[in-house]
Copies of this chain bind each other. A is one copy, B any other.
Amino acid sequence: MRIAQVAPLFESVPPKFYGGTERVVHYLTEELVRQGHRVTLFASGDSVTSARLIPSCPVALRLSPGGEDELAFHFVMLEKVFRAAFDFDIIHFHLDYLHFPVSRRQEIPNITTLHGRLDIPTLKRLYQEFSDMPVVSISDAQRRPLPWINWQGTVHHGLPLDLLRVGNGDGGYLAFLGRISPEKGVDRAIEISRRVGLPLKVAAKIDKNDYKYFETQIRQLFESPDVDYVGEIGESQKAEFLGNATALLFPIDWPEPFGLVMIEAIACGTPVVAFHGGSVDEVIEDGVTGFIVDNIDEAARAVNRIGDIDRERCRKVFESRFSAARMVADYMNIYTRLQGSPTLSEDLEPVPK
């Protein structure tokens, strides 16, 4: 099948640093190519891919200043995409809603994976207008704020099987991997570790927007001898960081649409102790790949029972449920179904809104 993947331009594919969406686009693209499909990737010029790359800006836009520049580059990219549209059987967008005004007006099979949270009031208004756009959720939970939009399926993220390997989990520490922001709960992770008497290793980025939170609420917690803040880590360091951990702590406080870190952990054989919320109970199987809890007390008790979890079993579950190949199989079902039916909206009638 001739497939176009249209990536956001803020980060390259794969990203040089943090970029969940771009990582997923990368794994999806590479696996599609590996399976023999003809894939064209629209992304920043510093992307690295086995697909045919159409560079849509010189380098990832994060490296250049100016918010408005970013939209202009995406608009130019979309014109290229639609100019080439008849070269593709399906176009797969990862731009949130940026392309909707155009894709709605072109008779070309397309699908959009929504990568973010949908519990934002403006999105409701946007989707009331664009309720016809065919979209894919990355968890069933993600859909909850907007159950009535044109969902074509849920496709959980997947990773290449050789990306991470099983570790012994004998480093004697708990792991926190992600961002320092209130909803991710590093403070809760610190408290859980304290209660079970294990050190916590924190590999995390501090976004510009989170500096104030870090400075006022978190910095002093990091001064404890039981907290080891290792800063941001790259992909190559994750296997060791996660693989040696007793467990990954995931004490979230928001409706996480997916949470790649959970499947990265179990790919390393490391169970996850996660708070209920978002996709957690679709991704983690309580008692099998970790424990799902509601508060710090329960989390501490779960860590104390972590020996009940079989690390090899975690890896097996990862391989069967969260591989890039499984993700591709799910998307291929959707592509195939949509390919035959162009998604042009019926003529817009003057409906008063």
Contacts and interface: CB of A to CB of B under 8 A. Distances in A.
Interface of A: 66-69, 71-73, 75-76, 78-80, 82-84, 96-98, 100-102, 105-106, 120, 122-123, 125-126, 129-130, 348, 350-351, 353
Contact of A83 (B75, B76, B130, B348): B348
Contacts of A97: 72, 75
Contact of A72 (B69, B71, B80, B126): B126
A72 B353 CA distance: 16
A120 B69 contact: yes
A22 to B, nearest CB: 17
A146 to B, nearest CB: 13
A113 to B, nearest CB: 17
Nearest to A78: B101
Chain multiplicity (copies): 2
A122 B66 contact: yes
Contacts of A82: 348
Contact of A79 (B73, B120, B129): B129
Contacts of A122: 66, 68-69, 72-73
6 closest Cβ pairs, A-B complex:
A69-B122, A72-B126, A101-B102, A76-B129, A72-B122, A105-B105
A338 to B, nearest CB: 21
22 contacts: A67-B67, A68-B96, A69-B120, A69-B122, A72-B123, A72-B126, A73-B122, A73-B125, A75-B97, A75-B100, A75-B101, A75-B126, A75-B129, A75-B130, A76-B129, A79-B130, A79-B348, A80-B353, A83-B350, A83-B351, A105-B105, A105-B106
B125 A72 contact: yes
A282 B350 CA distance: 44
A83 B348 CA distance: 7
Contacts of A351: 83
A104 to B, nearest CB: 8
A314 B76 CA distance: 45
A106 B72 CA distance: 20
A199 to B, nearest CB: 38
Contacts of A67: 67
A2 B125 CA distance: 28
A75 B99 CA distance: 10
A167 to B, nearest CB: 38
Given A83-B350, A105-B105, 6 more contacts: A71-B71, A72-B123, A75-B100, A76-B129, A84-B350, A101-B101
